[in-house]
């Protein structure tokens, strides 16, 4: 069952990144709007001051059953899309380096706008 993200979820969430040999985003980089399906997947909605919101930091638990992960990703996409639209956003942006995620985005109606390097700098 999907529920709103709680700060206390960070432990299981960060372990999913580590299990995938990825670096988890720092907890203070996560936006306040997030959803999680315990032991399966989580994702976040980043609001901007433009008409675009972003789906970010989506990850699944690699130890969860494939079918559960697939269903969870569908539910998370639907919920974050709903929340973005409800908040008045006109566009939803996402990015990835993974072909599977790119293919999924295309199935959801996202359009490719190019490939980019992504940067972060601690201030």
pLDDT tens string 28-42 = 999 999 999 999 999
Are 37 and 75 contacting, i.e. CB atoms less than 8 angstroms apart?
yes
Cα 102 off chain centre by: 13
Domains of the chain: 2-107 (3.40.630.30)
CA distance linking residue 120 with residue 123, whole number of Å: 9
Contacts with 110 (C-beta within 8 Å, 6 or more apart), sequence order: 92, 94
Q: Comparing C-alpha atoms, which of 61, 53, 74 is closest to residue 15?
A: 61
Q: Which two tokens stand for residue 92?
A: 């939803």
Are 42 and 59 contacting, i.e. CB atoms less than 8 angstroms apart?
yes
Per-residue confidence in pLDDT tens, the chain, 123 aa: 999 999 999 999 999 999 999 999 999 999 999 999 999 999 999 999 999 999 999 999 999 999 999 999 999 999 999 999 999 999 998 888 878 888 888 888 878 887 777 676 677
């Amino acid at each position: 069952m999907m529920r709103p993200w709680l700060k206390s979820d960070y432990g299981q969430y960060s372990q999913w990144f580590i299990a995938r040999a990825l670096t988890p985003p720092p907890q203070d980089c996560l936006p306040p709007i997030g959803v999680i399906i315990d032991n399966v997947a989580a994702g976040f909605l980043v609001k901007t001051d433009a008409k675009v919101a972003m789906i970010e930091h989506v990850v699944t638990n690699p130890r969860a059953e494939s079918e559960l992960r697939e269903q969870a990703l569908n539910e998370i996409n639907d919920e974050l899309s709903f929340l973005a639209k409800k908040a008045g956003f006109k566009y939803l942006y996402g990015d990835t380096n993974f072909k599977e995620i790119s293919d999924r985005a295309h199935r959801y109606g996202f359009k490719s706008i190019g490939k980019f390097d992504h940067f972060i700098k601690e201030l």
